[in-house]
Amino acid sequence: MAADWELIRREVAFQGYFRIDRYHLRHRRFDGSWTPVLQRELFERGHAVAVLPYDPVLDRVLLVEQFRVGALEAPGGPWLLELVAGIIEPDEPVDAVARREADEEAGIVITDLERICEYLVSPGGTSERTTLFVGRADLSEAGGIHGCADENEDIRVHTFAAGEAIELADRERANNAAAMIALNWFARHHAWLHDRWFD
C-alpha cells in the first residue's frame, strides 16, 4: 500500500496550543491512475486513551463534565459529558494513561481494564487515534471537582446508574464520539461485564 501514495512535502502550517501540518501528496486512484499533487492540512495532537469507569457492585458508571471550545455552537452548549481521557505521552503504555487520567480527572483508582476498541477520530482532518477501555473502579465516594491546576482543568464528576448512562447516549446527551461508542458497547456487554467483575 505504501507504493500507492507519495508524500511530496510536509511543513508546519501552525504551531500554537495544537499543531497543524500541511501535506503535499498524491495517491493512486481506484482506476489505477494518480491524482495530481493535493494539499491537505492535518490537525496533529497525538493519540488518546479514554476509559469508562464502572463499579459492578453499585452497577454505576462515571462520566466527567467539562467545557469544550469545539462545542460552543453545539446543541446543549459547550459543557459535555465525557469519558475520562488523556493524550498518550511518548512511550507511555495505553493502560497507564487510563489509570493516570482516572486519578487526575476523577480521583479514582482503576483496578481492571477491558479494551473496547481503537478508532480514528476524524481521519479527514486529524491523525488522532483513540483507544477506549471500560475500567473497574470503586465509585462509592466518587464526585467533586478535579483536574490539573497547571492545565487549567475544571472537571466535574458524575455517576449514573448503568441504565441511566446508556440512556444518555440514546438521547444524545453524552454526544461525543468516545462516550457514545463506549456507552453503546457497555449496553451490549453490561450483563457479561457485571457478572465477570462482580465480587
| pLDDT value at residue 17 | 85
Are 37 and 56 in the same domain?
Answer: no
Residues 61 and 83 placed together within one structural domain of the fold: yes
Catalytic-role residue among 41, 151, 153, 167: 151
Task: Report in angstroms the alpha-carbon separations of 74 from 70, 77, 102, 181.
Answer: 8, 5, 26, 19
**Angle separating helix axes 162-170 and 177-197, nearest 10 degrees:** 160
β-strands 5-15, 38-44 pairing: unpaired
Per DSSP bridges, beta strands 129-137 and 38-44 are: unpaired
Q: How far is CA 5 from CA 36, 105, 163, in A?
A: 11, 40, 46
151 is catalytic: yes
CATH of the domain at 119: 3.90.79.10
One domain, residues 132 and 158: yes
Are 50 and 84 within 8 A, CB to CB?
Answer: yes
How far is it, in rounded angstroms, from Cα 49 to Cα 135?
12
Q: Which domain holds residue 149?
A: 48-197
- Mark whether 38 and 109 lie in a shared domain: no
Residues 70 and 12 in one domain: no
Cite the beta strand spans of 16-98 per DSSP E. 19-27, 38-44, 48-55, 60-67, 79-82, 84-87
Residues 74 and 6 in one domain: no
Residue type, 87: I
Using CA atoms, how far residue 179 sits from 25, 28, 43, 86, 158, in Å, is 34, 35, 21, 14, 14
Same domain for 70 and 116, yes or no, is: yes
| pLDDT digits 0-9 by tens, 79-96 | 999 999 999 999 999 999
Q: Are residues 95 and 113 in the same domain?
A: yes
Tens digits of residue pLDDT in 49-60: 999 999 999 999
Distance of alpha carbon 67 from alpha carbon 73, whole angstroms: 12
Q: What's residue 99's pLDDT?
A: 97
Residues 31 and 120 both lie in one domain:
no
Distance CA 84, CA 178 (A): 10
DSSP assigned state of 78: S
Domain match, 27 and 56 both: no
| % the chain with pLDDT above 70 | 99
**Among 20, 19, 23, 28, residue whose Cα is nearest residue 39:** 23
State the Cα torsion 181-187-189-193 to the nearest 10°. Answer: 110
The pTM for the full model equals 0.91
Q: How many structural domains are present in the chain?
A: 2
Cα angle 89-90-91, degrees, rounded to a multiple of 5: 110
**Whether residue 158 sits in one domain with residue 86:** yes
pLDDT digits (tens, 9 = 90+) for 166-183: 999 999 899 999 999 999
Residues 127 and 169 in one domain: yes
From the centroid of its chain, how far is CA 150?
21
Q: Can you give the pLDDT at residue 76? A: 87
**pLDDT tens for residues 136-160?**
999 999 999 999 888 888 999 999 9
Please tell me the predicted confidence (pLDDT) of residue 151: 84
Mean pLDDT of the chain: 95
